[in-house]
Amino acid sequence: MDEDQSNGGFLEMGKADRSVWLMKCPVVVAKSWKSQVASSSGSQPVAKVVLSLDPLESEDPSSLQFTMEMAGSETGRIPKSYSLNMFKDFVPMCVFSETSQGSVAMEGKVEHKFDMKPHEENIEEYGRLCRERTNKSMIKNRQIQVIDNDRGVHMRPMPGMIGLISSNPKDKKKTTPVKQSDVKRTRRDRGELEDIMFKLFERQPNWALKQLVQETDQPAQFLKEILNELCVYNKRGTNQGTYELKPEYKKSVEDTGAE
C-alpha cells in the first residue's frame, strides 16, 4: 500500500498488451552489454536476432530457429554467435518498469522465453571462459601481517574482556586438566615396540597396562594387540591385573640376558 501511495496509486497500462520476450543470458554476455551501454553516448543495438524458417513447413512452430549475433566489435574472447532455445510452457509473467520519480508502468506480457547457448564452434572457448571464472572465484586473497610484538601480549585474553574471562574472581572456573588417555599418541613400528617390551619385561616380570602405556607412550589399544601375542594376563592371584611373558618368550629373554 505504501508503494501505491508513493506513486499516486496509478499503474500505467498503455503497453499492457504488448508481447515481450524474456531471455536468460550468460553472465559474460550481460556484463559485455552493460559495459557497451555505459560507454556509448546514444542508444546503440547490442545484438541482433535472426529468425530462420523452412518455407515448406512454415506452419510448424518447431521449424522456427532463432539465433543471436553480438553487435559489439570489442567483445574480446566472448563468443559472438548464440542459439536461442525457445520455450512456451512457462508460468505467465508480466514486465514492469519504475522510473526514478516513482511512477510504475506495465511494459507487456511475456510471450516467449529463451535460453542462450553458444554455437558448437564456440562452445570450447565458452567452456574455457567458464572454467577461468570458476578458478578466479575460488582464489582467496589472504594477507600475511608481521606482528611486532612476538610475545603474543595483544592476542592474549585479558581480565575483564567480555565473553572471554570474567573480572570477578568468584566466577573463574578451574581449568580441567587434560586426561592422559585423551592425549593422542603416535604408534611406533611394531618390531621396535616389541623390542622395547622385551627390555621392560627384563627389568621386571609383571606389568599393568597403565604402567606400560606410561613407559612406552603408545596407544592402549595398540599395546593390547601386542600384549595378547606376547603375554599372559593374570586374572587372579598375587599378580592379578598384570601381564607377564608367555613361557616361550620368557626363555628367549632369559637366554638373551645370559649372553
Rounded to an integer, the average pLDDT of 83-111 is: 84
**Set of cell numbers at residue 154:** 595483544
Q: Residue 35: CB partners within 8 Å, gap ≥ 6? A: none
Dihedral sign for Cα 111, 115, 121, 125, please: positive
What is the average pLDDT score of the chain?
A: 76
Helix (H, G, I), strand (E, B) or coil at 258: helix
Q: How confident is the model at residue 129 (pLDDT cuts 50, 70, 90)?
A: confident
Instruction: Give the chain's radius of gyration (CA, Å).
Output: 40
Q: What is the pLDDT of residue 2?
A: 45
The pTM of the whole model exceeds 0.75? no
* Residue 129 CA: distances (Å) to CA of 29, 122, 227: 11, 11, 61
Q: What is the pLDDT of residue 207?
A: 93
Q: Which long-range contacts (CB under 8 A, 24 or more apart) does 121-124 make?
A: 121/81, 122/79, 122/80, 122/81
Q: What is the pLDDT of residue 146?
A: 74
Rounded to an integer, the average pLDDT of 66-89 is: 75
